[in-house]
Structure 1
């Protein structure tokens, strides 16, 4: 899995590829961390977990990234070292929900903001968001408002 930061007018974009949807979510989140600061300390910070659900993959990615920004603001930490598990509707079971639901169960290390020189990412946007399966895995392009 990999990501690259891309310049985008007054914003910043993350372009990521990965062999699985779960790894793609983690790669985009790692890109969000990289867009927030030059370097992250290798140690320090407590791990935390979260769970989000949405009706589509794109909405799930948006909600997940939005939640990471929220956690940063509430906990005063920079989420780093992301781990994700995306659960698709096929694996949830027919009686679990009336509508198809995608779920991400994720964890991150919360690096205290006072330990990094972080740039504020204001929000994730749907502007130009791409999330698609490709021959060799998954691809995403996400723009963040700075």
Structure 2
């Protein structure tokens, strides 16, 4: 499952536009776009993989929460999350919702990323993900996402 992304200029911010064959692929592509927005040359090796798990009621909220978590991990761990791998599942039954803490969340994300030490890259700061103009939708047999980041 692979997705593609492109950086788009957006006034004083930066946007990532991505496509993928599945929600998992498009989420991973947006996360890779976030890394690209922060660093022109990502090292092909180095860094430890770490995990991220999130749940949300809808795909927009899930993407927002996931990308915000990657920015948090960057700040706390001092790493640039790259080579993102994402698996998204839907929580369809009541037992699964109760196992998730009783919430009525509908989507679960399990992801990993390779954390490249920020000391090893020339990184620009992306401050936050925004809901401004965010799109996550299926279009003609592929998934599409557009996300604006505050820089």
TM-score (norm 2): 0.93
Give the structure 1 partner of residue 141 of structure 2. 136
Structure 1 residue 38 and structure 2 residue 79: aligned?
no
Q: Spell out, residue by residue over 1:49-107, the C-alpha distance to the aligned partner (whole angstroms, 9 max, x if none).
A: 110011111000000000000000000000000000001133xx332225242110000
Give the structure 2 partner of residue 94 of structure 1. 94
CA distance in 1 between partners of 2:116 and 2:145 (Å):
25
Structure 1 residue 74 and structure 2 residue 72: aligned?
no
Deviation for aligned residue 1:136? 2.2
CA distance in 1 between partners of 2:66 and 2:16 (Å):
15
Divergent runs of 4+, >3 A: none
Q: Is the 8 A contact 2:55 2:105 kept in 1?
A: no
Query: 1:106 pairs with 97, 105, 111, which one?
Result: 111
Give the structure 2 partner of residue 118 of structure 1. 123
CA distance in 1 between partners of 2:136 and 2:124 (Å):
25
Q: Give the RMSD, CA atoms, in angstroms.
A: 0.9
TM-score (norm 1): 0.96
Partner SS state of residue 96, structure 1:
helix
